[in-house]
Amino acid sequence: MGRRGLETERLRLTRPVEADSAGVFAVLGEPRTVEHNPSELLADEEDAAELVARWVRHWDEHGFGYWCARERGSQRLVGYVGVRRMAVRELP
């Protein structure tokens, strides 16, 4: 696993880096991709850069977090997957 990520038959999962902001915006800036979770819609690439920076910090602080999902054999970001620490109603 580690920094290199994970691979499946169709996808390559990598830890997010700053350069992923444009790809994240391409996914989360499109209303159809967040139709069932509209709170994730990003307004612009600046929002995407801030989101990716949070993902990177989470990895640095906790050693796990969201992965960027790419088509295997490509740099094209097609989504993200993973878990993160969070509080819901002030409970971890």
Q: What is the pLDDT of residues 29-61, one digit of tens each?
A: 999 999 999 989 999 999 999 999 999 999 999
Q: Is the pLDDT of residue 22 over 80?
A: yes
What per-residue confidence (pLDDT) applies to 2?
A: 52
Burial annotation 54-86 (CB, 10 A radius, 16+ → b, else e): ebbebbeeeeebbbbbbeeeeeebebbebeeee
Q: What is the mean pLDDT of residues 67-86?
A: 93
Task: Enumerate the domain spans of the chain.
Answer: 2-82
The CATH homologous superfamily for domain 2-82 is: Gcn5-related N-acetyltransferase (GNAT) (3.40.630.30)
pLDDT band at 3 (very low <50, low <70, confident <90, very high): low
Q: Cα–Cα distance between 46 and 53 in angstroms, integer?
A: 11
Q: Cα–Cα distance between 16 and 76 in angstroms, integer?
A: 13
pLDDT band at 70 (very low <50, low <70, confident <90, very high): very high
